[in-house]
Chain A
């Protein structure tokens, strides 16, 4: 942040305007710095207000004639997976899940009426933070790259690892994860997994968890459309497709996961 403010100062941003509209946590945290270093007055706007307005605006203007909002058809099938447009003309009510460092979940009832339902601290920051610690990677892109090459089933304990197949009593398929990182309780297994496997497992764990919480919120709030936005999903197709699949599967098709081109 200081580097940015410095740049702003050098480029004489302050001569262009005297007020800079800013949103997000940093608007509060760095307000003072902006004023003293960059001679810029910040007009603080609530980030969630902005987020919602932004979502609704972008969808209304579209994206080069295409719809801004889309969903995945056949998300788990690499060959058949398709991005299909979704019409957000009558968007309300909508569950908006913003996945940044942390996660905020909002229920939007109209353009001026929304509430923050809940949030979770297991977000993008957690994925990236844990990845750095487990694999030594240093950028988000690197972490995603590693994840795309790994096999999380080596790290996670699946239902079939415990029950030898599906657990019919609960309707749990054998491929479902019973315990994230559950195989890592064993020393031999810890030594046999690769960094890529760990990265993948971290991604899957965080993503599935967000999906779970989002799904429960949707049920509690009686909303069946869930829009996922946020930096975590930037260039992160794995997570997007996983969210799409998980939401569809566990809700038996009742909930739909939606995404935006300019999350």
Chain B
């Protein structure tokens, strides 16, 4: 990546984008070196901690009045001898050019602001899940997030900064400015300042939220005494903004004038946007610009205006990272040689301040932060991520089973659950690095950070998009990584893998001694019982902590009796009896230890014996005690040494081990490693097996696939069990066949 900095200046706000490499610790597993040594190792493999580098994009946003502070920051932290160029775009590129060149001694390269804006917009629409949302009043939370549609073109982008720009985007590189308006955020701010003597934009919006525009505006009913029936104009419509000002003998309150101004401007922008949308036959309009800035009031008025003027045919949509579009675009343009579009990007929740509603009634302490500095970080992922080819309908696929932004009760439960689990996680993190001097300190910082995130989410559930159990889990992982706890369970996993490997031969022996039908049932029970061994679930970890001998056999015995909570086992066994062997099965594994070794591998072995190929997909990066791809390689190697079926399958490439592209305890089938997707197509996979609560219940419970699928899990959370109509440790066995 080039040593280039990006500065995007608007009429009033400036965004700085810089690229950095972040070093963090990663736990890596590798086989012991067996050459010439006769030592029997206690553990199946060794763990080493290495430094890894992630490419991270940082964006900071601040008001132009702070430009000098920004330049000081750049000078002190970002400029080194290799930095030669500062790419600047936006009006300020012209305005601040001299200041920048003088202060930093860097050449200022001007980029076209619209190109940057569009590039940035395309990027976020394609790469960031839950980027787009619509405003929805009268619901528990105001924002409804939209699924990212794979084809985003064509669309209309209306940028409301000081003025309004309307751009039609037809393809990645083809876009056209089709119009604009001079009545925008600058008008609201300028007129507002003149009328109410309020200097700050946010304060004006605050006044507006309290005002009654009907005192200032002339309504249809003021003119007609009621509705204008013949034209179907309701009496409450505004006939003339500020129309009462001329005739009133009293002074107007600041609140009322601000409100009237807000309506006037929002309605005008909405009307023009609809006229352009109509002319170009477009139905989706994305709004950006500081005027929007996540404030419910402007989103409400713009949404209302669009609905009114388009009679519901056009949808007003907002972007979570609207303030950064230009900055992201400028970065992409500058980094073009490095093909940023070839990578996939993920939002780093730990470093991002999140979408903030600047409405002060929501969170007074947040207001102090908004308008000055705002941060956003994106990590470049090592491998590109794509859809699972077997998804029935990628454009409507939503991984998450429960939407916590919508479901207040569920939200309260899970936020509390994660708050209560925090102590345990902190302890585990510290215990995983006993030799480290500052582990305790870092663990405390992690606690603070994650705690604060949870509190933010309590106040503003939409801060990072749709709130789901998955996002809560992922945020925790990001925070752990931030404080150099990349894999707190690595030692636990190592120990459990060791124990499980030792038990493998006897488990196989007992399975092989069973009749066919009995064996199928035993294998399924094995999968389920193995799944019980999940450190992520509080109920289970308590048991594991207190009963270290709690073994596989006991787990199988204690399994729920049939009929299970979700029970299509009969259909599954029928299929096995009557149908031909599957061509290729894709298995998404869950936990390390007993789960993968005594549950999954025997099941895999059986599939292989039937003549079915198997793709075993494990996490790219660690999460809780989930098995990682690198661990799976070693485990497979060790099992192959004990079992000829596995051995030959590996050698003949009938058993393939891949990584999912994910480092989460949950599974998003729309963001999977490209290699996995290619293999799925190549091998004509016709069976998908998803195991575990994170991957089969918190996510994908309702996912529809084009081929047969098996979703198995033991519910280890009593609230969730209750929700689904069962008790804790209920079994889910969902065998589904697509409709013809």
Residues of A bordering B, CB below 8 Å: 25-26, 28-31, 46, 48, 100-102, 116, 118, 120-126, 128-130, 132-134, 155-157, 162-164, 169-171, 176-185, 187, 190, 198, 205, 208-209, 212-213, 216-217, 219-220
Contact present for A181 and B194 (CB under 8 Å) = yes
Within 8 Å of chain A (Cβ to Cβ): is B246?
yes
Task: Report the minimal beta-carbon distance from B638 to chain A, rounded to whole angstroms.
Answer: 62
Establish whether residues B177 and A181, one from each chain, have CB atoms under 8 Å apart when the complex forms.
no
Whether B283 is near chain A, meaning CB under 8 Å from some CB there, is no
A46 to chain B: closest residue by CB: B230
B309 near A125 (CB under 8 angstroms)? no
Give CA–CA (A155, B179) in the complex, Å.
22
Taken together as a complex, chains A and B put the C-alpha atoms of A21 and B186 apart, in Å, by 46
- Chain A residue with the shortest CB-CB distance to B201: A185
Whether A25 lies near B162 (C-beta < 8 A) is no
Are B240 and A123 in touch, CB under 8 angstroms?
Answer: yes
Tell whether A121 pairs with B245 under 8 Å between CB atoms, given A29-B223, A169-B177: no
CA of A217 to CA of B190, assembled, Å: 28
A29 contacts which chain B residues (CB < 8 A)?
Answer: 223-225
B272 engages A179 (CB within 8 Å):
no
Judge whether B94 and A125 touch: CB under 8 Å.
Answer: no
Taking A125-B242, A130-B245, A180-B187 as given, write out 6 further A-B residue pairs in contact, using a Cβ cutoff of 8 Å, ordered by the A residue number.
Answer: A25-B228, A29-B223, A100-B240, A102-B223, A178-B163, A180-B184
Whether B243 pairs with A205 at a CB distance below 8 angstroms is no
B245 touches A180 (CB 8 A): no
Q: Is the CB of A184 within 8 A of B193?
A: yes
- By a CB distance below 8 angstroms, the chain A residues around B187 are 179-182, 205
**With A121-B241, A125-B243 as contacts: A220 and B278 at CB distance below 8 Å:** yes
**Stretch in contact with the other chain, from B263-271, B610-618, B727-735:** B263-271
Chain B residue at minimal CB-CB distance from A101: B240
Number of interface residues of B (CB under 8 A): 61
Bound form: Cα–Cα A176–B242 in Å: 25
Residue in contact with B272 in the complex, picked from A130, A187, A212, CB distance below 8 Å? A212
Q: Which residues of B contact A118 (CB under 8 A)?
A: 271, 309
In the complex formed, the residue of B with least CB distance to A100 is B240
Kindly state whether residue B105 has any CB partner on chain A within 8 Å.
no
Residues of A contacting B535 in the complex (Cβ-Cβ under 8 angstroms): none
Contact assessment for A25 and B182 in the assembled complex, using a CB-CB cutoff below 8 Å: no
Would B275 and A213 count as touching, CB distance under 8 A?
Answer: yes
A-B contact pairs, 24 of them (CB 8 A): A25-B220, A25-B225, A31-B225, A48-B230, A102-B223, A120-B268, A120-B271, A121-B217, A122-B241, A125-B239, A130-B191, A130-B245, A133-B195, A163-B94, A170-B180, A177-B182, A180-B186, A181-B194, A182-B186, A183-B190, A208-B182, A213-B271, A216-B179, A220-B275
Question: Is residue B372 within 8 Å, beta carbon to beta carbon, of the partner chain?
Answer: no
Sorted nearest first, the 5 A-B pairs with minimum C-beta distance are A184-B190, A129-B245, A125-B240, A179-B186, A181-B190
* Docked CA distance A179–B243 (Å): 23
A26 to B222, CA, bound (A): 9
Report Cα–Cα, A31/B162, bound state, in Å. 45
A177 to B243, CA, bound (A): 24
* Chain A: CB-nearest residue to B267: A121
Q: How far is the CA of A48 from the CA of B229 in the complex (A)?
A: 13
Cross-interface CB contact of B162 among A126, A134, A157, A169, cutoff 8 Å: A157
**A198 to B11, Cβ gap below 8 A?**
no
CB-CB under 8 A from A180, the residues of chain B are 163, 182-184, 186-187, 190
Task: Kindly list chain A residues whose C-beta atoms are within 8 Å of the C-beta of B309.
Answer: 118
CB of B360 within 8 Å of the partner chain: no
Closest B residue to A155 by beta carbon equals: B190
A157 near B186: Cβ-Cβ < 8 Å: yes
Task: Give the nearest-CB partner of B226 in chain A.
Answer: A28
Q: Assess the A28–B94 pair: CB atoms within 8 A.
A: no
Residues of A within 8 A of B264 (CB): 121-122, 126
Complex: how many Å from CA A180 to CA B191? 9
Q: Which of chain B's residues has its CB closest to A49's CB?
A: B230
Closest to B238 in A: A121
Is B186 a contact of A198 with CB atoms below 8 Å?
Answer: no
B244 within 8 A of A: yes
Contacts of A124 in B (CB 8 A): 240
Q: Which of B91, B220, B240, B272 contacts A216 (CB 8 A)?
A: B272
Quote the shortest CB–CB distance from B210 to chain A (angstroms).
19
B238: chain A residues within 8 A (beta carbon): 102, 121
A120 proximity list for chain B (CB < 8 A): 267-268, 271
A42 smallest CB distance to B (angstroms): 12
Please tell me which one of the listed residues B184, B195, B246 contacts residue A128 in the complex, with CB atoms under 8 A apart.
B246
Q: CA A164 – CA B114 in complex, angstroms?
A: 17
- CA separation between A132 and B244, bound complex, in Å? 10
* The one of B184, B223, B228, B243 that contacts A129, using a Cβ cutoff of 8 Å: B243
Residues on the B chain within 8 Å of A213, using CB = 271-272, 275
**Chain A: which residue is nearest B227 at the CB level?**
A28
Any A CB within 8 A of the CB of B189: yes
A205 to B181, CA, bound (A): 10
Closest Cβ of chain A: how far from B432's Cβ, in Å? 53
Q: Answer whether A178 and B182 are a contact pair too, CB < 8 Å, given A126-B240, A216-B276.
A: yes
A31 to B226, CA, bound (A): 12
Does chain A have a CB within 8 A of B469? Answer: no
Alpha-carbon gap, A212 to B199, bound state (A): 29
- Name the contact of B11 in the complex, choosing from A102, A182, A209 (C-beta under 8 A): A182
B279 to chain A: which residues have CB within 8 Å? Answer: 216, 219-220
**Are A162 and B183 closer than 8 Å at their CB atoms?**
no
Q: B257 in the interface, Cβ–Cβ < 8 Å?
A: yes
Residue from B182, B217, B224, B231 in contact with A156 in the complex, judged by beta carbons closer than 8 Å: B182
Query: CA A217 – CA B271 in complex, angstroms?
Result: 11
**Which residues of chain A come closer than 8 Å to B237, judged between CB atoms?**
121
Distance between Cα atoms of A38 and B309 in the complex (Å): 40
Whether B398 sits at the interface, judged by CB under 8 Å, is no
Judge if B586 is at the interface, Cβ distance under 8 Å.
no
Whether B194 and A190, one on each chain, are in contact in the complex, defined by CB atoms closer than 8 angstroms, is: yes
Q: Give, as a whole number of angstroms, the nearest-CB distance from A181 to chain B.
A: 3
Residues of A within 8 Å of B161, CB to CB, are 179
A163 to B193, CA, bound (A): 24
CB <8 Å contact, A129 and B242? yes
Q: Are B275 and A217 in contact (CB under 8 A)?
A: yes
Known A-B contacts A120-B271, A132-B245, A134-B194; the reply to A179 vs B11 at CB < 8 A is yes
Interface centre among B182, B185, B218, B272 (most CB of A within 10 A): B182
Q: Tell me which residues across on chain B come within 8 A of A133, comparing CB atoms.
A: 195, 242, 245, 252, 257
A205–B112 CA distance with the chains assembled, in angstroms: 27
Closest to B93 in A: A163
Q: Which residues of B contact A169 (CB under 8 A)?
A: 112, 114, 177
Whether B11 and A157, one on each chain, are in contact in the complex, defined by CB atoms closer than 8 angstroms, is yes
- Identify which of B194, B243, B278 contacts A126 (C-beta below 8 A): B243
| Residues in B165-191 with C-beta less than 8 Å from chain A | 165, 177, 179-187, 189-191
| A-facing residues in B657-691 (Cβ within 8 Å) | none
Q: Give, as a whole number of angstroms, the nearest-CB distance from B203 to chain A.
A: 13
Cα(A246)–Cα(B257), bound, Å: 29
Whether A178 and B162, one on each chain, are in contact in the complex, defined by CB atoms closer than 8 angstroms, is yes
Task: Decide: A185 and B189 in contact? CB cutoff 8 A.
Answer: yes
Chain A residues near B91 (CB-CB < 8 A): 162-163
